[in-house]
């Protein structure tokens, strides 16, 4: 039975604990959200000793299941003041699971200055001074830790933004090349790790055995089918490896939903210059990689390595959301500048969506000109130096908007909106409003045919059907986030008759259970209820489930407006 590893960051002690019965069957987001509801006072300050940072591997992580290396990080969010689960790839999830650790829980808070480094291995846990790494970016931190503790270790770290406890700070996970291109980006969880004064965690699974399987034959059979499903689907088998998630730039632009110039238009005239197709051409011409997995065992390979015109690596994990936030939304059209901004965010430890929206708000406030990539790079660089302007930027869009007197701030629950204008894709707008996480596109990402009781023909510009679709997507996503499976598997699951059943077969074979697809749906519902309950206790009301009023303005090219009422939206959060 996997254990919980509790670390007291003030006393610098640790204890392994058997999970109590109601936690035993949970993993990933299901586990982090339940533990936060049970153990974190909902009214606490997110940077206080009462908050906990919980890092949990998924239920299937560490096994041979394809695409099961995702990890969930949970806490009360310093950005939203509500519950947060932020999800990442990288090496850590599988290694933790192999060590028999269900979750790491960082508790309490040191009184003295100075950061610590955690080394977790088969031998136990070491809590060491991290002085030599303090102030370093995530890139250099990971490089030095691999040099000292060996290549291919799992590393979880924060950069200068997390050290300063800024609310746009992310937590980074070493990818298979030791780069910090993978992040639990959203909600400012890097600030929580900074408040616990943990600079980095090294996870060494050397000597760890295989994960025990209740029925090895059934597992092998289900896993074979699982890999077939992923490999044979056009999204997971072809489009993502060729263009990455950036294939969406042109498509969302065409749909009139690519938020441009701080959500003023749904089309960006230079979309082609920042598109996945153009990015792939540049990668082919300059060197780099169009496909790369974010963790071993990934068969989708949506990640990439992007180089400058001299063939020098500029960034990795160059994603649609990032390219939109730092590109179309700021009207920066030079893909190399967008890549430099992405690399800066990864190194300093900033959420790219939050930072892109923040830059647009800073441009709105006249701090730097619209579309000026070089000025944006200088500005984001200031976050690393502790410059007061850098501290404003590192605290996200809402904070920056106040600092510069801006009235056009695209946030829900204090968190910046992602890359789909809610007026042109209304279903995702419903998710932005009603997710306990704040404006979050991944909260309603997964699709499963037996869960999705609505038909395929949704009109993205109308209200009809979009409340139901958002609700069903949120339930399915919460369940997938508990398994450690990458959300992108959902594309293939949508189109495959036995997709959900195969996931259930894997869980049953590993744990000796007899779950049905209905149990998975119920798991998803229970997670959403737990998260909602935490936020209710923290003082959130239906007034927090709104988009800013400027979304009532018509959005070109369709000139549609946001027209959901509070009561409409509350239907989504009612579960019988």
Judged by CB under 8 A, which stretch of 182-190, 287-295, 439-447, 514-522 contacts other proteins? 439-447
How far, in Å, CA of 409 to CA of 550, rounded? Answer: 9
Among 44, 125, 218, 452, binds other proteins (CB under 8 A): 452
By the rule CB under 8 A, 325 interacts with other proteins: no
CA dihedral 367, 371, 374, 376 (to 10 degrees): 50
- Contacting other proteins (CB under 8 A), which of 183, 240, 362, 506? 240
Among 21, 455, 464, 576, binds other proteins (CB under 8 A): 455
Considering the complex, state which of residue 253 and residue 329 has its C-beta at the smaller distance from other proteins. Answer: 253
Other Cβ atoms less than 10 A from the Cβ of 333: the count is: 18
Which one of the spans 206-214, 322-330, 457-465, 565-573 is the region binding other proteins (CB under 8 A)? 457-465
Interhelix angle 335-348/138-149, nearest 10 degrees: 60
Least distance (Å) from other proteins to the CB of residue 237?
A: 8
Q: Which is nearer to other proteins, 218 or 461 (CB)?
A: 461
Contact pick of 11, 38, 378, 459 for other proteins (by CB under 8 A): 459
Extract the tokens encoding 552. Answer: 């009532």
Per CB under 8 A, does 12 bind other proteins? no
Specify the residue, 82 or 256, whose C-beta has the smaller distance to other proteins: 256
Whole-angstrom distance, CA of residue 575 vs CA of residue 523? 13
Range 404-424 burial, b when 16+ CB lie within 10 A, else e: eebebbbbbbbbbbbbbbbbb
Task: Give 405 or 455: the residue with its C-beta nearer to other proteins.
Answer: 455
Handedness of CA 79, 73, 4, 179 (dihedral sign): negative
Torsion of CA 184, 37, 26, 523, to 10 degrees: -100
Contact by Cβ (8 Å): 438, 187: yes
Among 73, 239, 367, 485, binds other proteins (CB under 8 A): 239
Q: What is the CA radius of gyration of the chain?
A: 22
Nearer of residues 302 and 403 to other proteins, judged by Cβ: 302
Of 117-125, 131-139, 141-149, 264-272, the segment contacting other proteins by CB under 8 A is 264-272
Pick left, alpha or beta for residue 569 (phi over 0 → left; psi -120 to 50 → alpha; otherwise beta).
alpha
471: Cα within 13 Å, side-chain hemisphere? 17
**Which is nearest to 407 in space by CA: 397, 417, 420?**
397
CA 337 to chain centre: 23
Q: Tell me the closest approach of the beta carbon of residue 32 to other proteins, in angstroms.
A: 23
**Shortest separation between residue 486's beta carbon and other proteins, angstroms:** 11
Write the interaction track for other proteins spanning residues 494-533; mark x where CB under 8 A is met and - where it is not: x---------------------------------------
Closest approach of other proteins to the CB of residue 434, in Å: 15
Read off the DSSP letter of residue 210: P
Phi and psi at 305, nearest 5°, equal -130, 125
Query: Helix or strand or coil: residue 174?
Result: coil
Cα 168 from Cα 259, distance rounded (Å): 20
Gap between the Cα atoms of 86 and 32, Å rounded: 10
Site string for other proteins, 482-501 (x = CB under 8 A): ------x-xx--x-------
Q: Which is nearer to other proteins, 23 or 443 (CB)?
A: 443
Alpha-carbon distance values, 485 to 13, 425, 446, 465, 574 (Å): 32, 26, 11, 27, 27
Does 444 help bind other proteins (rule: CB under 8 A)? yes
Task: Please identify, among the stretches 203-211, 375-383, 447-455, 567-575, the one whose residues bind other proteins according to the rule CB under 8 A.
Answer: 447-455
Q: Which stretch binds other proteins (CB under 8 A): 154-162, 252-260, 306-314, 386-394?
A: 252-260
Q: How crowded is residue 126: how many other Cβ atoms within 10 Å of its Cβ?
A: 13
**Which residue in the set 473, 480, 493, 521 belongs to the binding site for other proteins (CB under 8 A)?**
473
User: Residue 399: enclosing H or E segment and its boundaries?
Assistant: helix 396-403
Q: Give the tokens for residue 285.
A: 């011409």
Least distance from other proteins to the Cβ atom of residue 433, Å: 15
Contact 406, 358 (CB under 8 A): no
**Nearer Cβ to other proteins, position 198 or 257?**
257
The reply to whether 434 sits near other proteins by the rule CB under 8 A is no
What are 191's two structure tokens? 């600030």
Q: How many CB atoms lie within 10 A of CB 204?
A: 18
By beta-carbon proximity to other proteins, the closer residue of 420 and 534 is 420
Does 558 bind other proteins (CB under 8 A)? Our answer is: yes
Looking at beta carbons only, is 349 or 460 nearer to other proteins?
Answer: 460
Which residue from 220, 557, 563, 575 is in contact with other proteins, where contact means CB under 8 A?
557
DSSP letter at 108? S
Q: Does 464 interact with other proteins (rule: CB under 8 A)?
A: no
CB of 191 to other proteins, least distance (A): 28
Site string for other proteins, 265-304 (x = CB under 8 A): -xx----x---xx------------------------x--
Q: How buried is residue 387: exposed, middle or buried, by Cβ count under 10 Å (0-12/13-18/19+)? A: middle
| Selection from 105, 150, 153, 149 nearest residue 130 by Cα | 149
Q: How many residues bind other proteins (CB under 8 A)?
A: 49
Q: Which of 18, 132, 254, 407 binds other proteins (CB under 8 A)?
A: 254
Question: Using CB under 8 A as the criterion, which residues of the chain lie in contact with other proteins when the complex forms?
Answer: 234-235, 238-240, 242-243, 245, 247-248, 250-252, 254-257, 266-267, 272, 276-277, 302, 420, 425, 427-428, 441, 444-447, 452, 455-461, 466, 469, 473, 488, 490-491, 494, 557-558
């Amino acid at each position: 039975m996997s254990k919980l590893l509790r670390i007291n960051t003030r006393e610098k002690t640790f204890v392994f604990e058997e999970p109590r019965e109601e936690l035993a069957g949970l993993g990933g987001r299901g586990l982090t959200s339940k533990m936060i509801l049970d153990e974190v006072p909902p009214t606490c300050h997110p940077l206080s000793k009462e908050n906990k940072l919980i890092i949990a591997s998924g239920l299937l992580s560490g096994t041979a299941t394809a695409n099961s290396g995702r990890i969930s990080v949970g806490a009360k969010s310093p950005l939203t003041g509500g519950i947060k689960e932020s999800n990442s790839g990288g090496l850590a999830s599988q290694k933790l699971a192999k060590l028999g650790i269900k979750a790491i829980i960082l508790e309490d808070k040191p009184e003295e200055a100075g950061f610590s480094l955690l080394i977790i291995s088969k031998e136990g846990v070491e809590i060491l001074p991290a002085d030599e790494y303090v102030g370093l970016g995530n890139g250099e931190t990971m490089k030095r830790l691999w040099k000292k503790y060996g290549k291919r270790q799992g590393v979880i770290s924060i950069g200068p933004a997390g050290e300063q406890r800024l609310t746009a700070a992310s937590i980074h996970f070493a990818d298979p090349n030791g780069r910090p291109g993978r992040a639990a980006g959203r909600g400012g969880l890097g600030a929580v790790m900074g408040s616990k004064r943990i600079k980095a965690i090294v996870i060494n699974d050397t000597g760890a055995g295989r994960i025990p399987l209740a029925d090895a034959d059934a597992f092998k059979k289900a896993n074979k089918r699982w890999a077939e499903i992923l490999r044979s689907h056009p999204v997971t088998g072809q489009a993502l490896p060729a263009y990455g998630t950036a294939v969406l730039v042109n498509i969302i632009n065409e749909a009139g939903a690519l938020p441009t110039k701080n959500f003023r238009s749904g089309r960006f005239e230079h979309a082609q210059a920042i598109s996945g197709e153009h990015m792939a051409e540049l990668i082919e011409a300059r060197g780099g990689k169009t496909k790369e997995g974010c963790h071993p065992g990934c068969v989708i390979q949506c990640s990439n390595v992007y180089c400058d015109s001299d063939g020098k690596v500029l960034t990795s994990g160059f994603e649609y959301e990032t390219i939109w936030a730092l590109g179309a939304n700021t009207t920066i059209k030079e893909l190399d500048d967008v890549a430099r901004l992405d690399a800066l965010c990864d190194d300093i430890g900033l959420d790219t969506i939050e930072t892109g929206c923040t830059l647009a708000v800073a441009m709105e406030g006249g701090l730097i000109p619209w579309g000026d990539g070089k000025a944006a790079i200088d500005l984001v660089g200031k976050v690393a130096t502790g410059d007061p302007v850098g501290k404003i930027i590192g605290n996200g869009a809402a904070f920056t908007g106040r600092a510069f007197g801006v009235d056009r701030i695209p946030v829900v629950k204090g968190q910046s909106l992602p890359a789909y204008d809610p007026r042109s894709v209304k279903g995702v707008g419903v998710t932005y409003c009603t997710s306990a996480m704040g404006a979050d596109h991944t909260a309603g990402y997964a699709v499963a045919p037996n869960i999705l009781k609505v038909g395929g023909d949704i009109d993205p510009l109308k209200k009809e059907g979009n409340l139901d679709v958002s609700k069903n997507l949120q339930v399915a996503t919460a369940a997938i986030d508990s398994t450690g499976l990458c959300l992108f598997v959902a594309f293939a699951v949508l189109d495959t008759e036995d997709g959900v059943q195969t996931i259930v077969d894997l869980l049953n074979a590993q744990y000796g259970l007899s779950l049905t697809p209905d149990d998975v749906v119920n798991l998803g519902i229970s997670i959403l209820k737990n998260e909602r309950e935490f936020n209710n206790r923290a003082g959130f009301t239906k007034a927090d489930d709104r988009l800013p009023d400027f979304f009532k303005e018509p959005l070109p090219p369709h000139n549609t407006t946001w027209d959901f009422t509070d009561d409409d939206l509350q239907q989504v959060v009612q579960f019988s």
